[in-house]
Amino acid sequence: MLQKVEDQIRTAIAIIKSGGTVVYPTETVYGLGVDAFSEEAVREVYETKRRDLSQPISIAVSSFEMLHKVAHVDSESVEIIAELLPGPVTVLLRKKDSVPGVLTAASDVVGVRFPDNEIATRIINETGPITATSANVSGRNPPTCVEEVEIKADIIINWGKCKYSMPSTVVDMTRATANKDKVKIKIEIKRKGACYDRVLHVLRSKAAGKRLHRFSMP
């Protein structure tokens, strides 16, 4: 079983590097991954999911160094993000020019995941950022095991049931403003998902410590 997974990881890396599609496990749900910097591959994801191009797709990274390559993050925000990631959280940030507009529906905001899953991060370590969208047809329930995956991909990696088996909590951190050399961070939880209570605890603790100007909940 372990050797089979090792072979699948190597195959998945090669497939993504050649522009193909991979269904991979995370701690939330199974994701559909392609090279996030390849517009052609990203468009294939939209087509496979039957997803409208007006709906953005998040990306997954495997390190904070990689996160800095795709999004603008100030030092104050980094301290908060470091307590949320890696984990079942999608953080909305201002994207860098390297992120193709097709991923973000032409907006300047990108959703970033840093999965707490060894298979996902091992793949991303070798390929760079990949798409982090659930491996389902848009509007249907996201798969929490491979038996629930209904879409086609070049490879589907089976790693059993996802740890949380529910989508990530989405945190909007795009509203950071500088005032007299001091950054004020305003955060909004856009979607309640996995580990919502922990996210809430982290944000409340930061607000109490005055590192967070304000946050709001759905």
Q: Which pLDDT score, from 0 to 100, does residue 1 have?
A: 58
Domain hosting residue 156, numbered range: 2-216
How far lies 141's CA from each of 49, 137, 150, 165, 181, in Å? Answer: 12, 8, 10, 11, 45
Q: How many helices (H) and strands (E) does the chain have?
A: 6, 12
Q: Which pLDDT score, from 0 to 100, does residue 104 have?
A: 97
The CATH number of whichever domain residue 93 belongs to comes to: 3.90.870.10
Q: In what order do the strands lie in the sheet with 133-134?
A: 133-134, 31-33, 22-24, 155-156
Domain count across the chain: 1
Q: Which pLDDT score, from 0 to 100, does residue 76 have?
A: 81
Q: Which pLDDT score, from 0 to 100, does residue 74 have?
A: 85
Residues of the chain scoring pLDDT < 70: 1-2, 176-184, 209-218
Q: Which pLDDT score, from 0 to 100, does residue 39 have?
A: 96
3-state secondary structure of 9: helix
3-state secondary structure of 8: helix
Model pLDDT for residues 56-88, shown as the tens digit of each residue? 999 999 999 999 999 999 888 898 999 999 999
Q: Which pLDDT score, from 0 to 100, does residue 176 have?
A: 62
Q: Which pLDDT score, from 0 to 100, does residue 60 have?
A: 98
Averaged pLDDT of the chain: 92
Q: Letter for the amino acid at 1?
A: M
- What's the rounded Cα separation, in Å, for the pair 34 and 203? 32
DSSP code at position 61: -
Q: Which pLDDT score, from 0 to 100, does residue 135 have?
A: 98
Q: Which pLDDT score, from 0 to 100, does residue 211 have?
A: 60
Q: Letter for the amino acid at 61?
A: V
Q: Check: CB of residue 15 under 8 Å from CB of residue 154.
A: yes
User: Residue for token digits 């088996």?
Assistant: 165
